[in-house]
């Protein structure tokens, strides 16, 4: 089954393809589709729905969208839905490393380092048939980056359940604990049911 994934992020596509095994994930740029909807929502779910609806209106075929981010208790839940746009330099978005190093600077001297990753998935199969799933992964912000796997804030996120920093875990192992892994497993169950009916 071909599934359009409402993202321009190849890292996310690779991870989601691994998690959904058996489904062909196509991102807009694969088919020359100009896709950059304005994420005006105030929650992960609202932004996932915005992206899914925007792509569905173009392709009129099954669409999956993800909105995810890192919520840090001591930062009032930030960077939250702005995780991918956290900080800038000379008017340009920071790289993954730039963002997590900014986070570490903003966390200097703060004892409460509790945080959690959030992933909201929205699947649209037809105008009147959609599913939404949101999951989390609890942990804390490390004092320094570690590991070479993953992307985004993975080098500074310590996963409580795994007892390790996210970027220290190989992809398949990370999937057991991650917010996106949990959400995608539930979504795969729904997709499998849909395909089988």
- Torsional sign, CA 10, 158, 169, 178: negative
Domain that holds residue 37: 2-196
First and final C-alpha spacing in the chain: 13
Q: Is 66 a catalytic residue?
A: no
| CATH number of the domain to which 55 belongs | 3.90.950.10
Say how many domains are in the chain.
Answer: 1
Along the 197 residues of the chain, how does pLDDT read in single tens digits?
899 999 988 888 888 999 998 899 999 999 999 999 999 999 999 999 999 999 999 999 999 999 999 999 999 999 999 998 899 877 788 999 999 999 999 999 999 999 999 999 999 999 999 999 999 999 999 999 999 988 899 999 999 999 999 999 987 898 999 999 999 999 999 999 987 74
In the set 67, 96, 138, 175, the catalytic residue is 67
Read off the pTM: 0.91
Burial category of 185 from C-beta neighbours within 10 Å (exposed 0-12, middle 13-18, buried 19 and up): middle
């Amino acid at each position: 089954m071909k599934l359009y994934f409402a993202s321009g992020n190849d890292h996310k596509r690779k991870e989601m393809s691994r998690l959904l095994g058996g489904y062909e994930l196509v991102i807009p740029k694969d088919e020359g589709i100009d896709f950059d909807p304005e994420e005006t929502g105030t929650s992960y779910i609202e932004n996932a729905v915005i992206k899914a609806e925007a792509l569905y209106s173009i392709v009129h075929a099954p669409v999956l969208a993800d909105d995810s981010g890192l919520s840090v208790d001591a930062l009032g839940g930030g960077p939250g839905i702005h995780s991918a746009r956290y900080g800038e330099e000379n008017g340009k978005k920071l790289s993954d490393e730039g963002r997590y190093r900014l986070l570490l600077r903003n966390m200097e001297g703060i004892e409460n380092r509790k945080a959690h990753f959030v992933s909201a998935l929205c699947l649209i199969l037809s105008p009147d048939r959609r599913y939404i799933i949101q999951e989390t992964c609890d942990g804390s912000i490390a004092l320094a980056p570690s590991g070479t796997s993953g992307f985004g804030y993975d080098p500074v996120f310590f996963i409580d359940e795994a007892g390790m920093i996210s970027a220290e875990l190989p992809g398949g192992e990370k999937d057991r604990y991650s917010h996106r892994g949990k959400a995608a497993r539930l979504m795969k169950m729904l997709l499998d049911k849909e395909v089988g009916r």
